Structures are given as C-alpha cells and as structure tokens.
Structure 1
Amino acid sequence: MSGRTKLILAMAVLALLAAAAVWLPIPGPAQLRAWAAATGPATPLVLLVAYSLLTVAPIPRTVFNLAAGLLVGSVAGVVIALAATTIAAGLSFGLARLLGRDLILRHLHRAPVRAVNERLSGGGVLAVTSLRLIPLVPFAPLSYLCGVSSVKLLPYLAGTALGSIPGTIAVVVFADALTGDTPPALLASYAVFAAVGVAGLVRVLRKRVPAVAAEEPVPSTAAG
C-alpha cells in the first residue's frame, strides 16, 4: 500500500470516527436499563463489546463507566470497564500504527514531532500513565498519538491500564448517571488524578531533557 493511499485511508477513518462521535446518540439511564433488560444475562458481555468498540471513536468513556456501575454494580463494573478500556486502547493503537505511522516517520526530522515522539517512547509506562491520569486529555486521540509514536505496545497498554484505574473506579462507583449531576467528590477526585498525572509528566519531561552538548571544540591557545 502506497504512502498516499495510507494517508487517504487514514483521513477517511479519522473522519468516520469523528462523525461517529458527533452523530452516535449517547444513551441515557432509561435506555441503558432497557438494553440491560433486553439482553438479560448477556448484559456484561454486551457492555464489554460495546464499550471496547465504541470508544475506539472519540466517544467519552465516562458514559460507559457510568453504565457499568449502573447496570452491573461496582465490582463487575470496574472489571469490565478496565478490560474494555485496555481493549479499546489496543485497537486504537493498532489502527493508528497501521494507517499513520509512515506519515509521522517522514516528519521526525521536525523538532516538535521528534520531541513528542521522544517523550512518549522514552517515558514509556510512566509517560502514558501520567497522561491517562489527566482527565482533560481525551482517551481516543491520545491512543492515536501513541500509535504513531515509537512507544512500544506493552508499555503503552500497561500505562493505559494503570492510568485509567483511579478515574474508572471513581466514575463507576459514583455512577451519577442516575442523578444527572456530577458529585463534588468526583470533581475533587479528578483534580487529584490530574495533579498526579501532571507531576508524573513533569518528571518524564525533566528526565528526557537533552544534555547540553559537551563536544564543542575547546579553542586552542596559540603560542605567542
């Protein structure tokens, strides 16, 4: 497959994912309960599959985390949500690497592209974990970015799972879809997760700051 074909295909896939995020209806509590009643004992499996596939598009994970807590309870909801998160992250990573990696490689000579790539690949698990802890960093776009970077799959998946644990547990346990409000405690939890994520990211950035070149020739003193 030529580079131009891959680029066109990547743009088409991204457009479809973006359109899905905009046009797919986000179900409310009543609709989720109806789905659960219709699927019966298969509810956990249906939730896992829907969560894993639909969050490959830039659809917020929060609605599925809330659904998990609402439909299957806290313990099962957390297990399903984290499993689906990891699956979706792997699918997004693979899709981005398949379609967009060649395009990024052509621009690695550019300083901003190279800097982002080095931070992700060099930081490994810590870099991905820190970014996943920050609620304002969207799940799917970050997955695409990691897919076209040089970060390895296993550190990426490990960082995604670790960084998603606190926020996932908080949302599933609170399950505020029933009230339609966001509890202050959930906002406070997000703030703490964000602070921890930023701290980890700062550590990665400091660790990867390139050392000052020490190979410059020392001017020789000419003999008088």
Structure 2
Amino acid sequence: MMPVPSAQQVRDWADSCGPLLPLVFFLVHTLVCVTPFPRTVFTVSAGMLFGPALGLSLAIAATTVSAVLALLLVRALDKDRVRARLTHPTVRAIDTRLARRGWLAVGSLRLIAFAPFAVVNYCAGLSSVRTVPYVIATFLGIIPGTIGTVLLADALTNHTSPAQILVSGACIAIGILGLVLDTRLATPEEDLVPEVAAEPEPVRP
C-alpha cells in the first residue's frame, strides 16, 4: 500500500503551492488517484484546505476525471495482463457484480468506499461497461460520500455550522441506504427463472 501523508505534510505542501493551489490540487488528485492510492486522503484534504464549496467542486471533478483516465488506461493496455494481476477476492467480487449489473454496479460501488476506488476503475475497464454510463454512474455515486467527507473535514477547521454536520451525516446515510438497497435487489439473472418443461410420458406400445 502506498504511504499516506500526514495532515502536517498536506498543509506544508499546500503552503508551497501558493495561489495555484486549487489547480495543482486538482491535477495531483486526478493523476495520483489513477493509481491504488486512497482517495479519501484527497477528499479530506479538499475540505480542510478549501472549505465546502470549492472543496466539493475540486474533489468531485478530480475524482470523476481520475476514474475516466483509469478506465481508458486499462482498456488501452493488454486486458489479459491486467486481469492476471487482479487476483484478490475483493476484485473477483467486484468483477462479478459489474458483469451482472453493468453501470448500475458502478453507481452502487461508488456510494460507499468499501470497494477501493482504483479497483472499481480497473474492473470496470476490463468489463463491457460503456464509457458514458460509467461516467454518469461514477459522478452520481460519489456525490453523497464526497459531500459527507468534505463537510466533516471542514468541520475540523472549526469553520462549519451544526447544520453542515447534519447534512454530512445525512449524505453518508444516503450512501449506506443506497448500498443496502442495491444488495437486496435481484440481479437480472436472478429475475429470470427458467421454466422447466414437463418430461413427456413414455409412449406405451
């Protein structure tokens, strides 16, 4: 696993960027999260450094662009070689869900980060999910969790109100509820119950 920077390291890096910080943050967030780096580090940093409005805009935009870049990168590479490296049970579970639900699985997997962001990107790249539905599902799926995380991070700076904390909790709850509902919905394969034809009686002479 890649090393996670401390809060002080993030602040030092931010101070060194000066007025170009938002642009540099967007570029670094986008490129680094193509790799298996924990996206939550950038989401929390966005809330602490930029506050709710700009922090949310940067986090959501950079996350979406990063997901698209990862998808296109995997599809540009040798898929068989990439698939051979993704052998963890979590990867197989995500791959199975994508095969059954397609872009709907992308949206549900984005709601709560129990599934690593980069792993979902790679598995989607190996699947037949189309790019436009993938982008839309990613954008919509990351919104509740990103809002919740950014607002909570902003609360750590003592610049937020109790109402924002309530909104944060509500967004996280929406993500959890959506994930629970998704797990309870039958997949298309489960909806199709094959009819068993009655065996014909043997013809007696």
Q: TM-score range by the shorter chain?
A: 0.7 to 0.9
Question: Within 5 A, what are the aligned runs for 1:139-178?
Answer: 139-175=117-153, 178=156
Name the residue aligned to 1:194: 176
In structure 1, give the amino acid aligned to 2:79: R
Q: Deviations over 1:142-163 (max 9, x none)?
A: 1111111111111111111111
Give aligned-pair identity as a percent. 40
Name the residue aligned to 2:33: 55
Structure 1 residue 94 corresponds to structure 2 residue 72: yes
Name the residue aligned to 2:43: 65
Question: Normalization by structure 2: what TM-score?
Answer: 0.76
Contact 2:145 2:175 in 1 (8 A): yes
Name the residue aligned to 1:138: 116
Name the residue aligned to 1:219: 200
Q: Deviations over 1:181-209 (max 9, x none)?
A: xxx97678545523311312432x43332
In structure 2, give the amino acid aligned to 1:33: R
Number of aligned positions between the proteins: 191
Q: Deviations over 1:82-112 (max 9, x none)?
A: 1111111112212222335346899xxxxxx
Name the residue aligned to 1:4: none
Structure 1 residues 116 and 56, CA, compared in 2 at 3 Å: closer, same or farther? Answer: closer
Structure 1 residues 188 and 138, CA, compared in 2 at 3 Å: closer, same or farther? Answer: farther
Find the aligned partners of 1:148 and 1:94 in 2 and give their Cα distance. 10
Contact 1:133 1:163 in 2 (8 A): yes
Structure 1 residues 51 and 40, CA, compared in 2 at 3 Å: closer, same or farther? Answer: same
SS of equivalent residue, structure 1 residue 91:
helix
Q: Structure 2: any 5+ residue segments left out of the alignment? A: 85-90, 158-164
Structure 1 residues 139 and 118, CA, compared in 2 at 3 Å: closer, same or farther? Answer: closer
Structure 1 residue 30 corresponds to structure 2 residue 8: yes
**Cα root mean square deviation, aligned:** 3.2
Contact 2:103 2:129 in 1 (8 A): no
Name the residue aligned to 2:187: 206
Contact 1:131 1:198 in 2 (8 A): no
Contact 2:46 2:55 in 1 (8 A): yes
Q: CA deviation at 1:175?
A: 0.6
Question: Normalization by structure 1: what TM-score?
Answer: 0.71
Question: Within 5 A, what are the aligned runs for 1:98-117?
Answer: 98-102=76-80
Find the aligned partners of 2:118 and 2:92 in 1 and give their Cα distance. 21
